[in-house]
Amino acid sequence: MTFEIAIDRCPYCGGSLTTQYINDKRRLVCAKCGKTIYLNPVPVVASVVIKDNSILLAKRKNLPNIGKWNLPAGFLELYEQPEEGALRELKEETGLLGEDPKLCCAITQNSKRYGSVVVLGFIIPKTYGKIVPGDDASDARFFKLNDIPKIPFSSHRKIIKHAIKDLKLDIKLPFNS
């Protein structure tokens, strides 16, 4: 586990941190105020829009994996409901307005920056408007599910697999895991 990626000073008092084992778990403990600093995964929301056996993907404008295609996705904002986050990311990255998001599955994925993130995949059955790529996406369009480009995130691939199962689509995806 890599703690150095997440934090190097105590968020309560600014003191330096030590590593201790508490109940067999490696924890960060402040040398000054004694508080234990818990590191937790960060939630990400990802939107699945499938129409006519095609899925909406967005092309990444930023690191990591610039230029690769993935589900419209991003970090949940503070105090935001996950469903709202999924619709917001869909709108920001593809220009489409969505309705009735349904949680499909939740997948933990390792992250260089956060240790791990939990990606909440939402199926969005109804969308409106015209595709206009924006925010973190340089492009957005539908791909036939049996011919989608290589998606760099295993969590997104797993979500797509879950989604086509949930939607009872008889499609062979171009990846196994």
In the complex, the residues that contact Zn ion under the rule CB under 5 A are 10, 12-13, 15, 30, 32-33
Nearer Cβ to Zn ion, position 15 or 95? 15
CB of residue 82 vs Zn ion: minimum separation in angstroms?
31
Nearer Cβ to Zn ion, position 12 or 175? 12
Nearer Cβ to Zn ion, position 10 or 160? 10
**Among candidates 78, 72, 80, which has minimal Cα distance to 135?**
72
Sign of CA dihedral 70, 76, 81, 84: negative
CB crowding 11-29: b at 16 or more within 10 Å, else e: eeeebebeeeeeeeeebbb
CB of residue 114 vs Zn ion: minimum separation in angstroms?
21
**Among candidates 100, 163, 55, 176, which has minimal Cα distance to 72?**
55
CB of residue 25 vs Zn ion: minimum separation in angstroms?
19
